Structure 1
Amino acid sequence: MLVIALLLLLSLWDPVSPRPRCASGPACDPRHRRDAGGRGGVYEHLGGAPRHRKLYCATKYHLLIHPNGKIDGSLDENNPLSIMEITAVDVGVVAIKGLFSGRYLAMNDKGRLYASEVFNKECEFVERIHELGYNTYASRHHSTEHPAAPGGGGSSKRRASAKRQWYVSINGKGRPRRGFKTRSTDKASLFLPRVLGNKDHEMVKRLRESPGPHHHAHHHSRRAERRRRRHRAGKGWA
């Protein structure tokens, strides 16, 4: 029994890795938070380690996190900016980081999605699994609070329903929707976490071998911006 207990303790041990900057000052890599039971590291119910995935929206766009702070979607499944590192920060709560941009997905108090350079509370999203394998990601700290019913009557369940969550959402044009306009049942709020393919693994391998970790992302972002400008110029947009 003692040998089994020692083996279990060794299986839970996780070496400390460098932690990214945190908005509050000290290092606070979400992978090193502790849950209510006092266990260190990541959470077993979300795979036990940071997951590399692509978030494919039901509107057929892949979620992108840009180095310049922009969030949108792309129909290009080989875009490196679509490769995410999803890490548990609490039970059912995750942080989503663009592997190539080095930024975290975040939602502010106006319901706008943006890419944060540092991890903060706006980078925390409640992850829930829905039908057909799709997930939703709701802001943990921002939502719509409806006023309580007059007289304060009703059950606690009814009072809880007065709070409407704000979801990560990409519309049919690849643009993010404001959180307060979303619903969990909206097609634009449903995401399928796709495992990486061979091309994706090759890009990740080159990223790790590259002396400049964000070189590929910046290069791709500049090319995409030039294409958008040419497209606007061709249509005579201002």
Structure 2
Amino acid sequence: MLTPTQHEAYQKPRAPSAVRTYSLRCAGGQGCDPRLRRDAGGRGGVYEYLGGAPRHRKLYCATKYHLQIHPGGKIDGTLEENNPFSILEITAVDVGVVAIKGIFSGRYLAMNEKGRLYASTTFNQECELMERMHELGYNTYASHHFRTSPSPTSTGRRRASAERLWYVSINGKGRPKSGLKTRRTEKASLFLPRVLGHKDHDLVQLLFNSSLGYRHTAFRLTGSTRQRRQRHWADTLESGDNDEDD
């Protein structure tokens, strides 16, 4: 009786070919695309546990605002469901570390050494945010490089309290909070990553198919949205005046 290795249909498996891996690093003081980063194992910046591709999401804060990134560098929250500046691209740059980019603004969410949120035109270390999942499906995003460390006591021993992270937060008025004043457990620091709806996907497709670029397309979209809102309020006021006349 022939063994499996002696059968004529058996083919000896080939030795796996050597795979060369490269480690791409951002040059000092220069920005680079986070998707070109590599980890110690040679894998790409987008990891397997994130589905193998950058995630297009909207970050819905527990204070009922969507985080939005403006082309001018401003960060705030919006109550509008289909605001193009709230459509974000979340890309992993390291294990547990992500970069958040506004698709229509072309800028990265960043936190400086003073805890202030701003939108950076290029990717740098201030754009690296630690993503952590918490109960009820909410996530927190904290600065990877800046935090408050416990100061030593007069006896040379450190205090019992651990270091405090600086979180991305949007308060109840839709304004960003300073990272120095944030807490992990407060509503302003909790974000629910939302999958894009049909209208959001249509906006993204319109952007990708447009030759006007990020800013012009976004301004046209927000301008048309503002005009529709103004017409809606004008019609509402006019109908109210008619009701009073009747």
TM beyond 0.5: yes
Listed as ranges, the matches of 1:221-236 within 5 Å are: none
Alignment of 1:147-166 (within 5 A): 147-153=151-157, 161-166=161-166
Q: Which runs of 5+ in 1 are unaligned?
A: 14-20, 228-238
Q: In structure 2, how many angstroms separate the alpha carbons of the residues matched to 1:224 and 1:23?
A: 41
Deviation at 1:4, TM superposition (A): 11
The 3 A distance-change label for structure 1 pair 78 and 122 is: same
Match status 1:92 vs 2:96? yes
Partner residue, 1:107? 111
* Shift of residue 192, structure 1, vs aligned partner: 0.3
- Asked if 1:196 corresponds to 2:196, the answer is yes
Q: Do the aligned residues in 1 keep the contact of 2:83 with 2:222 (CA within 8 Å)? A: no
Task: Decide whether aligned partners of structure 1 residues 106 and 4 sit closer, same or farther in structure 2, where only a CA change above 3 A counts.
Answer: farther
Q: Secondary structure at the match of 1:96?
A: strand
Provide the rounded CA distance (Å) in 2 between the counterparts of 1:182 and 1:91.
23
Distance in 1 of aligned mates of 2:144 and 2:226: 32
Q: CA 1:218–1:58 in structure 2 vs 1: closer, same or farther (change >3 Å)?
A: same
> Which deviates more from structure 2 when the two are superposed, residues 167-176 or residues 32-41?
32-41
Write the letter of the residue equivalent to 1:195: V
* Whole-angstrom CA distance in 1 between matches of 2:123 and 2:168: 17
Cα distance in 1, alignment partners of residues 27 and 68 from structure 2:
22
d(CA) in 2 for partners of 1:3 and 1:187?
56
- Measured in 2, the distance between the counterparts of 1:186 and 1:74 equals 19
Superposed CA RMSD in Å reads: 2.8
Q: CA deviation at 1:149?
A: 3.8
Partner residue, 2:69: 65
Determine if contact 1:148/1:162 at 8 Å carries over to the other structure. Answer: no
> Counterparts of 2:46 and 2:188 in 1: how far apart (Å)?
29
Q: Is the 8 A contact 2:45 2:94 kept in 1?
A: no
Q: Partners of 1:178 and 1:4 in 2: how far apart?
A: 55
Deviations 1:160-197 (A, max 9, x none): x5311000000011000000110010100000000011
Q: CA 1:5–1:62 in 2, change beyond 3 Å: closer, same or farther?
A: farther
SS at structure 2 position matched to 1:59: coil
User: Aligned partners of 2:157 and 2:29: how far apart in 1?
Assistant: 40
Taking structure 2 as the reference length, the TM-score comes to 0.76
More helix by share: 1
Larger radius of gyration: 2
Match for residue 82 of structure 1?
Answer: 86
What is the TM-score of this pair, normalised by structure 1?
A: 0.79
Identify if the C-alpha distance between structure 1 residues 190 and 174 changes in structure 2 by more than 3 Å, giving closer, same or farther.
Answer: same
3-state SS of paired residue (2:142)? strand
Q: Which amino acid aligns with 1:124?
A: E
Distance 1:5 1:212, change over 3 A: farther
Deviation at 1:153, TM superposition (A): 4.6
Residue aligning to 1:217: 218
1:213 is displaced (CA, Å) by 2.1
Contact 1:33 1:89 in 2 (8 A): yes
1:115 aligned counterpart, secondary structure: strand
